């Protein structure tokens, strides 16, 4: 049996916001943003929602896989920016695309959410409970950032990416001799560091409590602490996942990292002693879309023909929680 990704898709809002445009909102500069983050522009919703973007990305992934929505057995939406707490985004996506036979639920592991969703779907498929799944990372972070806070508003963008994974009864051996499928998964969390990157929902409030002041509901981040965490944890996590699979850095064709920051990606490449050309980036064009960054990048590379059957990939992300993970797979 092989579990393979047979379709990818993405959806981005039309509206581009350049660094120059942000200079009209906060005291910043194109030079500062590019130098510290690598980001040049991002897409910002003018009405697109987590659900509408997710549904579009799902339709494209299904089209590529040649599957009808009615064949989908499981839908997982990873998001930390839903418009509704109830119903969950996955149920709304199910309704829009007409995946009437699919179970559906959301998952929040922030920027590592898509990866955790992929791993969860893999475990379900591996167990035989389902034969296929749509996994989506979708975010409209633009509604969670304070557009007066220059230290956060320049970093994020909106968008969604999706993959369709399915079980194939036989083993798929690629031309280069590699067996397609997921080879290793590593996930972790460091909840004690949760305060470094947070965004508060409504506090406890009910008829039996005296009224409290509502907290602001914006993203707050200690950028330097996130940076320190990422540059240590991501390479360590990738190394551990590779060890689990009995592989080394040299065995990997492409590293698809969470697109938070170019300096973090460069530092990870350096620590792993891997060539930077193996670390494709799109953050220059789309910014940090949290859970959507990895599946959007995956779809871009897949559609551009930059991923070939038999290529071995590492997908690795980190996010609020703090959460982190790495998945090693051979593209089939
Ligand atoms: N434009 C101009 N100046 C700015 C801006 C801005 N947009 N933002 C902050 N500054 C100023 C600060 O006010 C500060 O000024 P001061 O020295 O007068 O006080 C100065 O720049 C330095 O601020 P730092 O916060 O120390 O800047 P730093 O070099 O750490 O860069 C950054 C900030 C880019 C956020 C960095 O910490 C970083 O890369 N962190 C990683 C976190 C990250 O990428 N998070 C993404 C989201 S989290 C995730 O995806 C999991």
Using one digit for the tens of pLDDT, what is the confidence trace for 110-144? 999 999 999 999 999 999 999 999 999 999 999 99
High-pLDDT (> 70) share of the chain, %: 100
pLDDT, mean over the chain: 96
Catalytic residue status for 101: no
Residue 8, H or E segment = strand 2-11
* pLDDT above 90 for 159: yes
* pLDDT above 90 for 270: yes
Tokens, residue 321:
């929680």
Per-residue confidence at 214, pLDDT binned at 50, 70, 90? confident
| pLDDT at 204 (0 to 100) | 85
| pLDDT at 205 (0 to 100) | 85
Residue 134, H or E segment = strand 132-139
Using one digit for the tens of pLDDT, what is the confidence trace for 284-319? 999 999 999 999 999 999 999 999 999 999 999 999
Using one digit for the tens of pLDDT, what is the confidence trace for 29-57? 999 999 999 999 999 999 999 999 999 99
Catalytic residue status for 288: yes
Q: Residues 16-27: what's their mean pLDDT?
A: 97
Nearest CA to ligand 1 atom 40: 223
Q: Residues 160-171: what's their mean pLDDT?
A: 95
Non-local CB neighbours of 213 within 8 Å, separated by 6+ positions: none
Q: Which atom of ligand 1 is nearest to the CA of 151?
A: 8
Question: Coil, strand, or helix at residue 307?
Answer: coil
Using one digit for the tens of pLDDT, what is the confidence trace for 142-156? 999 999 999 999 999
Mutation test residue for ligand 1: of 18, 36, 40, 144, the one with most atoms within 8 Å of CB: 36
Nearest CA to ligand 1 atom 9: 151
Q: How far is CA 193 from CA 190, 221, 229, 328, in A?
A: 6, 11, 9, 26
Nearest by Cα to 220 from 203, 200, 202, 204: 200
Nearest CA to ligand 1 atom 25: 223
| pLDDT at 119 (0 to 100) | 96
| pLDDT at 28 (0 to 100) | 97
Per-residue confidence at 327, pLDDT binned at 50, 70, 90? very high
CB 255 within 8 A of CB 262: no
Using one digit for the tens of pLDDT, what is the confidence trace for 54-98? 999 999 999 999 999 999 999 999 999 999 999 999 999 999 999
Nearest by Cα to 84 from 43, 143, 26: 143
Question: Coil, strand, or helix at residue 298?
Answer: helix
* pLDDT above 90 for 324: yes
Task: Give the predicted TM-score (pTM) of the model.
Answer: 0.96
Range list of β-strands (E), 238-322: 254-257, 312-319
Question: Coil, strand, or helix at residue 17?
Answer: strand
User: How does DSSP classify residue 203?
Assistant: P
Strand 254-257 and strand 312-319: the pairing is parallel
Ligand 1 center to 136 CA (angstroms): 29
Catalytic residue status for 15: no
| pLDDT at 103 (0 to 100) | 97
């Amino acid at each position: 049996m092989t579990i393979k990704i047979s379709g990818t898709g993405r959806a981005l809002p039309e509206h581009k916001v350049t660094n120059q445009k942000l200079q009209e909102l906060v005291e910043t500069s194109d030079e500062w943003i590019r130098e510290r983050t690598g980001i040049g522009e991002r897409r910002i919703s003018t009405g697109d929602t987590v659900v509408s973007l997710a549904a579009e990305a799902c339709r494209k992934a299904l089209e590529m896989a040649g599957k009808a929505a009615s064949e989908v057995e499981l839908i997982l939406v990873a998001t930390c920016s839903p418009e509704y707490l109830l119903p969950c985004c996955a149920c709304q996506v199910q309704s829009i695309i007409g995946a009437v036979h699919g179970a559906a639920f959301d998952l929040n592991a922030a920027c590592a959410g898509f990866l955790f969703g992929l791993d969860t779907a893999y475990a379900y498929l591996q167990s035989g409970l389902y034969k296929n799944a749509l996994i989506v990372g979708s975010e409209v972070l633009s509604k969670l950032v304070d557009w007066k806070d220059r230290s956060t508003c320049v970093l994020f963008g909106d968008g969604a990416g999706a993959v369709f994974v399915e079980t194939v009864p036989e083993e798929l051996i690629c031309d280069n001799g590699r067996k397609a499928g997921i080879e290793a998964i590593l996930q972790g969390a460091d909840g004690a560091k949760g305060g470094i990157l947070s965004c508060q929902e409504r506090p406890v409030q009910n008829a039996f409590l005296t009224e409290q002041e509502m907290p602001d509901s914006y993203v707050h981040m200690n950028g330097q602490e996130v940076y320190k965490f990422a540059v240590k944890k991501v390479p360590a996590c990738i190394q551990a996942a590779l060890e689990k699979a009995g592989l080394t850095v040299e065995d990997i064709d492409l590293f698809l990292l969470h697109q938070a920051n170019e300096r973090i990606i460069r530092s990870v490449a350096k620590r792993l002693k891997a060539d930077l050309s193996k670390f494709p980036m799109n953050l220059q064009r789309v910014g940090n879309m949290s859970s959507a960054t990895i599946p959007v990048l995956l779809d871009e590379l897949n559609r551009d023909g930059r991923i070939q059957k038999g290529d071995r990939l590492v997908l690795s992300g980190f996010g609020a929680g703090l959460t982190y993970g790495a998945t090693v797979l051979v593209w089939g």
